[in-house]
Structure 1
Amino acid sequence: MAPNRWLRPEVYPLFAATGVAVGICGLSLFRHITINPEVRVNKENRAAGILENFAEGEKYKEHFLRKFVRNKSPEIMPSVNGFFTDPSRN
């Protein structure tokens, strides 16, 4: 009885959205644990205390996606926005 209630085709998008959200959270957790300069997993690195390593922090902060979108317009669909807001088109 219960599988028929939860495995309807209408529920598949909900499962997909939840799966994508869990995947994004997992990737973010993996990124922070592996390459964040402030997270130290092994005992030797934890014993070092607070490090003033600004170059490593800057490298972590300026990742590929941030560099890619730096000079882009903060619009999702700029051509559609331009079509509706540009007065010279009317």
Structure 2
Amino acid sequence: MASSTFSRWLRPDVYPLFAAVGVAVGICGVQLVRNISTNPQVRVNKQNRAAGVLENFGEGEKYAEHSLRKFVRNKAPEIMPAVNKFFSDPK
């Protein structure tokens, strides 16, 4: 029973599915750790929860304007800019 289930799911045809699910779980895990560790509105320990609502706009701005957002801010929303320029620019 166990070997038939094992051989059914560990075929090379299923590897892309495992990879896609693994990447999705990894992205969710990174976002979860980022929110727990750096989000100014999330307070894990009891001492910080007792502080109530804080007016920490600087910390919130730092959390919202992370390095990836700063990197893509002035970029064109294209996946393959060279291919788009090849097909769209007249010569």
* TM above 0.5: yes
Instruction: Report Cα offsets for 1:43-77 as digits up to 9, x if no partner.
Output: 01101111111000000011110111111111111
Report the AA paired with residue 25 of structure 2: V
Query: Over aligned residues, Cα RMSD in angstroms?
Result: 0.8
Structure 1 equivalent of residue 85 of structure 2: 82
Structure 1 equivalent of residue 8 of structure 2: 5
For residues 3-82 of structure 1, the aligned pairs below 5 Å read 3-82=6-85
Q: Which runs of 4+ in 1 moved over 4 A?
A: none
Question: 5+ residue gaps in structure 2?
Answer: none
Q: What's the TM-score, normalizing by structure 2? A: 0.92
Instruction: Report Cα offsets for 1:20-60 as digits up to 9, x if no partner.
Output: 11011000000000000000000011011111110000000
Report the AA paired with residue 6 of structure 2: P
